[in-house]
Amino acid sequence: MYEMRTPTKAMPARLVAVYLLSASVAALIGCDSTDSDPPAVDGGIQWVRSAAEYKALSLQAYQAAAEDLQKFLDDKSWSALPDQENAEDLPVAIIADIDETTVSNVEFQATFARPFANHKLDSWNAANKATPVPGMLEFTRKARALDVEVFYVTNRPCEPKRGSDDPCPQKSVTLQDLREAGIETDATHVSLSNERPDWDREKVVRRNHIAKTHRVIMLFGDDLSDFVACARVSPKKPCTEAASTASRNKLTYDHSDYWGEGWYMMPNPMHGSWTSAVAIAPGASADADH
Ligand SMILES: [Mg+2]
């Protein structure tokens, strides 16, 4: 938030000029837009787009995770999934979200015509080169060099598209995005919501599916639902109740031992299931996590 002092007689002319310029910028940011204005860019988007602090937080998460890799490989009793058991002899895997965790969509967030719709993000992804989140590539190379498989679990949905017979044209766009960001992977390591009948937006279903064949040593996401079940306002099986700000905070503290220790949260102040829980995002779709 802006906190500005009123210019005083004692303030040198140079500072008064800076004050007036700052006030003009603040007024511009705060003004109402009209149809002819460029899209409003809110503080969260500005921060991801411009702030060194955003990059530092992303690097901090990925570099801390890189330091933890060997420890979790060596401890065969370790799983980042609290309910996973008897996984000692399974191949090792990491589960990562895609949007704002692996690739950054900040330029989409800054420019798309509100309200959000999945097909808008899909079209933008198809037309624009994906950008890796800072630190992601270096971490992924290190993990793969240690024979860790990376599974990408995204809530980009499979949806029919006019002119396409493919039941999930978004999957090839997503694989192409990962390739553009420097990640070569395949269809078996990427899952979209609705890709199978029981794979809805509640990601715990897909995490549990991966846990049948792999010991999951780390989770990466930008949304609480990338880590725990029942963090979303729109409950899906096995969840039965809508999440609230209070229930989401409780889930976070109930799992406090995992943060920075197998679970790595990436910074995203732009969108997510938190916005639905506090209902502060006019025009936002319910649980706008992807
Ligand atoms: Mg995401």
The angle, 0 to 180 degrees and rounded to 10, between the axes of the packed helices 169-180 and 118-127 is 50
284 located within any domain: no
1 located within any domain: no
pLDDT attached to residue 217: 98
Contact by Cβ (8 Å): 156, 193: yes
pLDDT attached to residue 14: 46
Q: Where in the sequence is the domain holding 177, given as residue range(s)?
A: 42-278
Contact by Cβ (8 Å): 231, 202: no
pLDDT, tens only, 83-119: 999 999 999 999 999 999 999 999 999 999 989 999 9
**C-alpha 134 to ligand 1 mean position (Å):** 15
**Omega cis (within 30) before 238:** yes
18 located within any domain: no
Q: Which of 7-11, 160-164, 237-241 has the highest mean pLDDT?
A: 237-241
**C-alpha 78 to ligand 1 mean position (Å):** 25
pLDDT attached to residue 286: 55
**C-alpha 83 to ligand 1 mean position (Å):** 23
Contact by Cβ (8 Å): 165, 109: no
Average pLDDT, the chain: 87
pLDDT, tens only, 225-235: 999 999 999 99
Residue 274 predicted with pLDDT over 90:
yes
CATH number where 142 lies: 3.40.50.1000
139 located within any domain: yes
Q: Is 276 helix (H, G, I), strand (E, B) or coil?
A: helix
**C-alpha 25 to ligand 1 mean position (Å):** 31
Question: Which sign, positive or negative, has the C-alpha torsion 67, 73, 74, 77?
Answer: positive
- If pLDDT is split at 50, 70 and 90, which confidence band does 279 have? confident
Q: What percent of the chain has pLDDT over 70?
A: 82
**C-alpha 20 to ligand 1 mean position (Å):** 39
Q: State the Cα–Cα distance between residues 102 and 46, nearest whole angstrom.
A: 19
**C-alpha 98 to ligand 1 mean position (Å):** 6
Q: First-to-last CA distance in the chain?
A: 27
35 located within any domain: no
**C-alpha 288 to ligand 1 mean position (Å):** 9
pLDDT attached to residue 35: 45
CA atoms within 13 A of residue 176's CA, in its CB half-sphere = 13
Contact by Cβ (8 Å): 267, 57: yes
**C-alpha 225 to ligand 1 mean position (Å):** 9
**C-alpha 131 to ligand 1 mean position (Å):** 14
Q: How many domains does the chain have?
A: 1
24 located within any domain: no
286 located within any domain: no
Nearest CA-CA partner of 91 in 38, 148, 44: 148
Contact by Cβ (8 Å): 287, 233: yes
288 located within any domain: no
**C-alpha 92 to ligand 1 mean position (Å):** 22
Which residues, chain by chain, have CB under 5 Å from ion ligand 1? Answer: 97, 99-100, 222
Q: Is 148 helix (H, G, I), strand (E, B) or coil?
A: coil
Task: Look up tokens 């979200």; give the residue.
Answer: 97
